[in-house]
Structure 1
Amino acid sequence: MKVRELRLVVTAEDYEKALEFYRDELGMPERGAFSSPDGGRVTILEAGKATLEITDPRHAAYIDEVEVGRRVAGHIRVAFEVDDSPATTDRLEEAGATVIAPPTRTPWNSLNSRLEGPAGLQLTLFQELGDQEVES
């Protein structure tokens, strides 16, 4: 047996706001959209490759400490790799996200920010730095 796709399903009270935020502002292309007989709607957005990160509570607390400075995440946090963490953080804040912590260089050499997005999702935006230096 092999898993072929990871799909995170989020129920959003404000469907339009969530769709606009994740599709239009974060730039996740639409794969398909469907409706139920009672008028309910779902849209499937592409997110590049998917991984499932399993962590224990101590390591989750460590990640929060590095990215935010204190424990803030629940048991689910969604992380998106982006090309420019500071610019994407600013764009998503303008689109209605609440910035919990600005982009911060991590010990694993990425530039991570933390936001609260639509549908109650806590988001990490991360930019892999490799050998590149961060501008101050």
Structure 2
Amino acid sequence: MTETLTEVLATCTERGEVPVRHKAPRAVRRARDYLRAHLSDPVTLDALAAHAGADKFHLIRAFRAEVGMPPYEYLTRLRVARAADLLAAGMTGAQVAHTVGLFDESQLHRHFRRIFGVTPGSFARTMHRQHRPSYARVSRLACPS
């Protein structure tokens, strides 16, 4: 079996094909771009994998290795970071939840509290009192680039 695998890999590299491990960063990059572009849309793993040009299970492993979290968690953090921006701008929690693609306000509340450690309402009140001085720092905490 080892000989066969070695022969297949040698044949692939002789024809100029890139082994799968070199495609992972490109697939992850494409997946991240797709998630950013479809922030408020429902995103399926199949659609994400098709866009990235990778098998969905390989994409999940490569994404976690490259970004430090699976794609769905990354999307959730993108949505919560966007929600923080909208809350700071004065939108209500219900409006924000719908705008960023979350199911309802309770889902926003649960994820926001898990990621930022405060409720969306507390965050909004603090931002309005402080006139939004530290949003850039808060969004970097929610979602690594």
Higher helix share: 2
User: Greater Rg, structure 1 or structure 2?
Assistant: 2
How does the TM-score come out when normalised to structure 1? 0.25
Higher strand share: 1
